[in-house]
Homo-oligomer: A and B are copies of this chain.
Amino acid sequence: MIFKKKPIVAFPPKDFYRLDHKMYVATDCIILGYDSNNLKLLLFQRNLEPFKGEWSLIGTFVHLDESLEEASERVLEQTTGLTNIFMEQTFTYGGLKRDPGYRCVSIVRYALIRLDEHDTKLAKEYHAKWFSLDELPNMILDHQQMINDALEILREKAKKQSIGFELLPKKFTLPQFRRLYESIYQKEIDPRNFRKKVLSLDILTKLEEKDKSNSKKGAFLYTFNALKYGKNFASKAGLDF
């Protein structure tokens, strides 16, 4: 066993390329979407042992001929039909007993998708269901932990990066945008302060149209200005509330 009892001066040690160190490498995918003023998560009900019938993130083994990114993008496309989606790595989970019976390391990435664009037929085929974050079912293994960690990273990201671009539909209202942030931070945000801060970032284009699905008066629709977006973020204060 290398390095185990006393220092081995050789670097790398002689048994560096031992075959019996190989293990399973998986990737699990945290698919987040925003709908009805709630941040939602796509979970899958397993229809095979082990853990048949229980809820789980969807994952896959990483193939020898694909990168980690390709593996998780493959999962995302197979379950939502979407490609070219923002995804970001969170952590890698490799506890000795995280999976019973065999040793498996899992790299987690989360994806932010526009719910109105994904293929709902695929979700059905996979026995998948969207859950609000506050009513998640029990999940197998360490999947709840993976989700908690990812949400923490997402909250940090949301402070600096807007997030709305990835999660909101192309056209959206400011109240909608605000409720997205409320559901990410799990707290109320003053509407006036939110407006002020978002508009001061100068990343939105106001449209003529109104969306009246949420009120009689209707709220003006906006789009992200792709040019200003990105440019105007590094410098400014961000969206911390």
Taking A23-B23, A25-B21 as contacts, is the C-beta distance between A105 and B60 under 8 angstroms? no
Asked if A217 is at the interface (CB within 8 A of a chain B CB), the reply is no
Q: Is A58 interfacial (CB-CB < 8 Å)?
A: yes
Interface 9-residue window, one of A86-94, A172-180, A192-200, A206-214 = A86-94
Q: Assess whether A46 is in contact with B92, with CB atoms less than 8 Å apart.
A: no
> What string of 1s and 0s marks CB contacts (under 8 Å) between A59-94 and chain B?
011111111100000110011000000000101101
Chain B residues near A24: list those with CB within 8 A.
Answer: 21-22
| A125 CB–B CB distance under 8 Å | yes
Closest chain B residue, CB of each to CB of A88: B91
A92 vs B20: C-alpha distance when bound (angstroms): 21
Q: Which residues from 1 to 54 on chain A have a C-beta closer than 8 Å to any C-beta of chain B?
A: 1-4, 7-12, 14, 16-18, 20-25, 44-48
B95 touches A92 (CB 8 A): no
State whether the Cβ of A127 lies closer than 8 Å to any Cβ in chain B: yes
For residue A46, which residues in chain B have a CB less than 8 angstroms away from its CB? 11-12
Please encode chain A, from 80 to 118, with 1 for each CB lying within 8 Å of some chain B CB and 0 for all others.
Answer: 000000000101101110000011010100000000000
- B residues within 8 A CB of A226? none
Proximity string of chain A (110-154) to chain B, C-beta cutoff 8 Å, 1 when within and 0 when not:
000000000000100111000000000000000000000000000
Compute how far the CA of A45 lies from the CA of B24 in the bound complex, rounded to whole angstroms. Answer: 30
Known contacts A3-B75, A78-B3; A61 and B21 CB within 8 A of each other: yes
**Bound complex: CA A21 to CA B60 (Å):** 10
Distance (whole angstroms) from the CB of A10 to the closest CB of chain B:
6
Query: Are the C-beta atoms of A94 and B62 separated by less than 8 Å?
Result: yes
B125 close to A107 (CB less than 8 A): no
A27 to chain B, nearest CB (A): 9
Interface residue from B2, B8, B17, B89 paired with A92 (Cβ < 8 Å): B89
List 17 additional contacts besides A21-B62, A23-B62; criterion CB under 8 Å: A3-B75, A4-B74, A7-B125, A9-B126, A10-B48, A11-B44, A11-B46, A16-B61, A20-B64, A21-B61, A22-B23, A22-B24, A62-B105, A67-B95, A68-B94, A89-B92, A156-B156
CB-defined A-B contacts under 8 Å, sample of 6:
A7-B122, A22-B23, A68-B95, A89-B91, A94-B107, A156-B156
